[in-house]
């Protein structure tokens, strides 16, 4: 029985892409993480947020053999708060969660049920944890977007989205944008590798992907980043494994990309084209359970909008790779 649940990190709520004149909480959270300040928040036991922007030479090891100029900063988040609230449920089909709202999109092909007809309160849980935040260079992403192979890949992903959204009679979430697909794919690749590196169970890791547009809206993405974190009521949220992995970030990223170069389902996975016969895979490029798909409870958008072909060159002919390794 899929549930409808809103989740917030660091005392705000949600994540996504906005074009309003007033900055939503997701933008304010991104701006806090991406501020570049040596210390963010306060370091004391009752703090809801404490993070440190790491010096570049502490994590960007040139010996990893990877161009890290596309990453502006790496932030070690020693303490964060997550609040989750249950507000409804569906029995037949999970909510097509959107990447552009502070609360998950609840427009369904079936009618969603509220948790109660006359509820004047909702059950919520507060959890604390840790994480790492990767701030990507927005100018590098925009330059990559205007490359010929990237434009062609974007058109195929848009065509796949058009097929997928027909299932929801016009109520599907909006296409989050190719920068979101790129960052979402990077996030899943890193989560799988970090689970091997730091010892956390893969199912305990979660993500927040920030591919946000400013007040001008449109395709002008001016905030791009990924927060990978863990938060739980038990000890797993406070073991320090994520923060401790930050100095090896360059090697973790390279290993994550190398692992995706060849999928166990290739060439079928690498050659997958979004089409009207793929179901939810119509939102995917080269992505399957052998490479990019993770536990759905760890993914903020239910394993939709993924494509490792945007990250690096696969055995497919197209070369829309963002990273060169």
State pLDDT tens for residues 64-116. Answer: 889 899 999 999 999 998 888 877 777 766 655 555 444 444 444 455 677 77
Q: What is the rounded average pLDDT of the residues 237-255? A: 88
Annotated domain spans of the chain: 3-310
Q: What average pLDDT score do residues 35-56 get?
A: 91
- What pLDDT was estimated at residue 14? 34
Helices (H), 25-94: 25-33
Rounded (10°) angle between helices 148-165 and 178-198: 90
Residue 264 is encoded by which pair of tokens? Answer: 């166990």
pLDDT band of residue 12 (cuts 50, 70, 90) is: very low
Over 90: is that where the pLDDT of 188 sits? yes
User: Tens digits of per-residue pLDDT, 116-130?
Assistant: 777 788 888 888 899
CA separation for the pair 230, 208 (Å, rounded): 11
CB crowding 255-266: b at 16 or more within 10 Å, else e:
bbbeebbebeeb
Per-chain mean pLDDT for the chain: 82
Helix (H, G, I), strand (E, B) or coil at 258: helix
Question: 3-class DSSP state for residue 231?
Answer: strand
pLDDT of residue 97: 57
């Amino acid at each position: 029985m899929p549930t409808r649940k809103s989740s917030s990190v660091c005392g705000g709520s949600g994540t996504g892409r906005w074009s309003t004149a007033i900055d939503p909480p997701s933008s304010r959270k991104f701006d806090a993480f991406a501020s570049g300040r040596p210390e963010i928040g306060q370091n004391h036991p009752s703090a809801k947020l404490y993070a440190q922007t790491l010096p570049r030479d502490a994590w960007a090891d040139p010996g990893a053999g990877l161009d890290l100029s596309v990453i502006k900063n790496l932030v070690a988040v020693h303490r964060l708060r997550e609040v989750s609230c249950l507000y409804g449920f569906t029995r037949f089909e999970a909510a097509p969660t959107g990447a552009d709202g502070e609360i998950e999109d609840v427009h369904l092909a079936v009618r969603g049920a509220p948790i109660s007809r006359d509820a004047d309160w909702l059950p919520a849980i507060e959890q604390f944890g840790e994480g790492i935040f990767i701030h990507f260079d927005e100018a590098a992403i925009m330059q990559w977007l205007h490359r010929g192979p990237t434009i062609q890949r974007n058109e195929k992903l848009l065509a796949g989205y058009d097929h997928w959204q027909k299932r929801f009679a016009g109520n599907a979430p909006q296409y989050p944008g190719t920068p979101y697909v790129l960052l979402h794919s990077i996030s899943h690749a890193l989560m799988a590798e970090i689970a091997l590196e730091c010892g956390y169970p893969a199912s305990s890791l979660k993500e927040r992907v920030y591919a946000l547009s400013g007040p001008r809206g449109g395709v002008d993405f001016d905030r791009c980043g990924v927060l990978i974190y863990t938060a739980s009521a038990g000890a797993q949220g406070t073991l320090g494994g994520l923060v401790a992995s930050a100095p090896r970030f360059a090697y973790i990223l390279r290993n994550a990309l190398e692992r995706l170069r060849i999928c166990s389902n290739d060439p079928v996975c690498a050659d997958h084209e979004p089409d009207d016969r793929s179901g939810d895979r119509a939102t995917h490029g080269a992505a399957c359970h052998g490479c990019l798909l993770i536990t759905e409870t760890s993914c903020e958008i239910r394993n939709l909008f993924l494509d490792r072909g945007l990250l690096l060159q696969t055995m497919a002919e197209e070369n829309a790779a963002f990273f060169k390794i």
